[in-house]
Structure 1
Amino acid sequence: MTNSTAELIAQYTADSRLPPKDVIQQAKLHIADTLACIFAGSSSKTIRILAEANYWAGTPKDVPVPGWGYAKTMDAAAELLGTAAHELDFDDTSVSMPGHPSAPIVAALLVTASDCCESRKNPARL
């Protein structure tokens, strides 16, 4: 009998160990860089056009999009944040890692963290 996907993920997680401290520090640096790009890009014309074209603008009862406002759905918020992260990120200097892999990951984490918070007045600490 084979293990279910959930069992495989649970086993992988249980077997995982914390990465070395230098790896954690490097990850924090990249996350901070991505957050800075999100905030810098969130007020761009591109984000406004994307939100308006898709009718994503929401109200304070909806999903917060830091630096921009609110989106009607979680996936809209994640797409706006991911786009904002790419908007002004000009550090494409790595031949082995083209693009910005942290942009969609951090965008999804921000939206998920917001959804998991009991109160939006106390955002989750990442």
Structure 2
Amino acid sequence: MAKYLLLKHYRGAPAAVNDVPMDQWTPEEVSAHIQYMQDFAARLETTGEFVDGQALSPEGTFVRYDGEGRPPVTDGPFPETKDLIAGWMVIDVDSYERALELAGELSAAPGAGGKPIHEWLELRPFLTEPPTITE
């Protein structure tokens, strides 16, 4: 088994087929989208492939150590950002091919008009051991 992160991005401007920014969806369309993702996760729980997942708030703060012990804090994400991390799901599957299959299925979540949005999902494997350094 191998763990993968499915990273869901929210784009403020259309970036996918049939994509309308979520802030322009009806409450029913938002509910249908969320229900699709909950049903997807519930199905993966029955197969043992679901590990965890969360939706993220669009508000956030950037923090970086300044070398003096006082981290500068900057409000963010910034309004001009067109791409925000909206949430994530961790899956534990038998193969990379299965991870691709599930990411493709999740990409078909409904959007405006109930049509699949075909959104891009970032698929990232978990690092299972530190890289080996050779000289």
The two structures have a TM-score, normalised by structure 1, of 0.33
Higher strand share: 2
Higher helix share: 1
Which protein has greater RCO, CA pairs closer than 8 Å, 6+ apart?
2
The two structures have a TM-score, normalised by structure 2, of 0.31
